[in-house]
Structure 1
C-alpha cells in the first residue's frame, strides 16, 4: 500500500503530439492542458538567447519581429529541424502545464511519424530529455490517429488511414494492431501555404505573409474550384511596396494548390497499388479514413475518392485524432502493449 502511494506520487502520465503546426499536451486525469502553435520567439541577449514567447503569442509575433528577435518553427516536414529550439519550447510548455510537480517525474508518450529515420527518432528522444522523464515511449502517429478515429485496430480486417499533417502525409494500412504497409511524402498543409504565397506574389503582385495565408486557407482553398468563393487578401504591392488589398477567388487559386494536392493523392494511389490483394477487399468495403488538420481542405475527400475509386471519410475532429489516440493509450495501457508487441 505504501509502495503504491509513493509510485502514484512520483509519476505523472503525459501524452504529447509534437506536430509541425501545433503542439498538444494531455495529462492523464486532467485532460487536454495545452494546444498552441509549434512556434517560439527568441530574443538575443549578449551571447545568449532568452525565450520571448511560445505558442499563440509567438505566432502573433511572426513576421513582425523587431531587431534582435527571431521567431522559429522548430519542426519541419513532421520532424525536429532545430533541436535546441524544440527543447526550449518543450521546457516552457512543461512550466506552463506544471508537468514538473513535487516529487513527480512524467512518463511520456509522444507521437512521431512512422516513416522517420533512426536519427530523426533519436532527436525526438533527445528533445524530451528536457522533461527528465524516466520513461519515454514513441508512438507511431498513424496508429495513434487510427485509434483516435475510433477504429478497432486489433481486428484482422484492414483499415487504411491517411494522416495529412502540416509537414508530412502518411498513408498506412493497419491490421492486427500493426502497420502492414505504408507510403509517405514530406508534403502537407505547409506546402499548400507556400504555394499560395508564391501565387499571390507572382500572379497577384502581392506579398503576403504565411500567417495571413494560414488564416485564409479554410475559406479560400477548394481543390475542385467549383464554387466561386472570394476573400479579401491584404499584403504589400510588389511594385510600390505600399499596403494593398486584392479580391481573390477559390477558382483562381485552384491551380496554385494543385501541385501539393496531386502529390498527396499520388501517394495514396501508390499505397493502394502496393497493398496486398488479400487486404484490398477490406479497403473497398471500409474505405479510407482521413486524419490530420489538412484533411479538412475543402473537397479533398471528394477528389481523393474520385481519383482512387475507394470511399473516403474524414475522421471526427481529424486535427485532434493523433492526440486523442495517444491519450487513449495512456488511459488504456493494454492498447500500448498491443501496439508495441
Structure 2
C-alpha cells in the first residue's frame, strides 16, 4: 500500500482540451478536474497583467468591465490568438487544479486541430510550458474525438468523423489509426452565434448578448426542420436603449444562419469527394459520426444525411468526446512520447 501511494505521488499524467469555447482538464486517477469557458478577465497596468477571473466568473462579467479591465477569449478559430492571455489562463488553471503538487513533473497530452500550422502548433507548446511538465505531446483532436466516440480507429476500415467545434470544423477519414484525408474550415458554433447577434440587431432592432444567444441556440436553431416555432427574445432596443422583447420565428433564424451552416456542409462535401474510392464503401456502411458541441444543433444530422445520402449519428456526449479520447490516450502515453 505504501509503495502504491508513493508511486501515485511521484507522477501525474494530464489530458487537456484547450478549446475556443471551453477548456477542460483531466488528471489520470482523479478524472475531470476542470471544465469552464476559455475566458479570462485581467487588469492591465501596462507592465503587468493581474488576473481577476477565469472561466464562468470571467464570462459573467464580460461586457461589464470597468476602465482598465479586459475580458477576452484568448483562442479563436480553434487556435491560440492571444498567447500571453492563454498562458495566464492556463497558469491559473494549474494553480486551481494543483498540477505540480506531485514529486515528479507531469506528463501532458493536449488536443489541437489536425489542420493547424507549425507556428500555431508551437504556440500550443509554448502555452502549455506554464505547467512545468516533463514532456508534452499534441494529439490531433479528430483522432481523440473518434476514440471518445467509441470508434476503434486501429481497424483497416474507414471511419469519417466531423468534429464541429466553436471555432473550427474538421472532417477527417480515419483508417489504421491515422488520418487518411482531411478538410477543415475556421467556421463553427461561434460563427452561428455571430450570425444570430447580427440578425437580431439588423432585422429585429434588438441588441442581444452572447450569453443570451447561446441559451437560445438549442431551441431556436433548427437547421433542417419544417416547424415554425416562435420564441420570445429579450434584449435592448437599438433606438431607445430600453429593455424590449421580440417574437422570432425559427424559419427566419434558419435563413440567418444559412451562411455558416452551408460552409460546414461544403466542407463535408469536399471530404466525401476527395475520399479514396476504396474507402467510400466503408463510409456508406458506417456513416458519418458527428462530434463537438456544435454537432448538437437541432436536425444538423438530418440535414447532412439528406444532403449526401449517408447515414449520420451524433456521438454520445459529443461536446466531451475530444477530452474523453485524449484521456483514454493517457494509457498509451509512453508510446506517444516515444
TM-score (norm 1): 0.95
- Which whole-Å deviations, capped at 9, do the CAs of 1:168-194 have from their partners, x for residues lacking one? 000000000000000000000000000
Partner of 1:259: 259
- Which whole-Å deviations, capped at 9, do the CAs of 1:212-255 have from their partners, x for residues lacking one? 21111111101024122232222111111222111212112110
2:319 paired with 1:323 = no
Residue pairs, 1:250-289, within 5 angstroms: 250-289=250-289
Q: CA deviation at 1:202?
A: 0.6
Asked whether the equivalents of residues 137 and 337 of structure 2 are also in contact (C-alpha less than 8 Å), the reply is no
Partner of 2:178: 178
- Which whole-Å deviations, capped at 9, do the CAs of 1:138-175 have from their partners, x for residues lacking one? 00000000000000000000000000000000000000
Provide closer, same or farther for how the CA distance between residues 340 and 301 of structure 1 changes in structure 2, counting only shifts above 3 A: farther
Partner of 2:332: 333
Q: Which stretch of structure 1 is more off in the superposition, 151-160 or 6-15? A: 6-15
Partner of 1:143: 143
Residue pairs, 1:84-123, within 5 angstroms: 84-123=84-123
Residue pairs, 1:127-276, within 5 angstroms: 127-276=127-276
Q: CA deviation at 1:126?
A: 0.2
Asked whether the equivalents of residues 15 and 323 of structure 2 are also in contact (C-alpha less than 8 Å), the reply is yes
Count of aligned residue pairs for this structure pair: 337
- Which whole-Å deviations, capped at 9, do the CAs of 1:97-118 have from their partners, x for residues lacking one? 1112042311100000000000
The secondary structure found in structure 1 opposite 2:257 is: helix
The secondary structure found in structure 2 opposite 1:35 is: strand
Partner of 1:36: 36
RMSD: 1.8
Asked whether the equivalents of residues 225 and 250 of structure 1 are also in contact (C-alpha less than 8 Å), the reply is no
Q: CA deviation at 1:46?
A: 6.0
User: Which runs of at least 4 in structure 1 moved beyond 4 Å after TM superposition?
Assistant: 2-8
The secondary structure found in structure 2 opposite 1:105 is: coil
Asked whether the equivalents of residues 11 and 102 of structure 2 are also in contact (C-alpha less than 8 Å), the reply is no
Provide closer, same or farther for how the CA distance between residues 241 and 4 of structure 1 changes in structure 2, counting only shifts above 3 A: closer
- Which whole-Å deviations, capped at 9, do the CAs of 1:58-89 have from their partners, x for residues lacking one? 11111221222110000000000000000000
Asked whether the equivalents of residues 188 and 294 of structure 1 are also in contact (C-alpha less than 8 Å), the reply is yes
| 2: CA distance, partners of 1:212 / 1:64 | 15
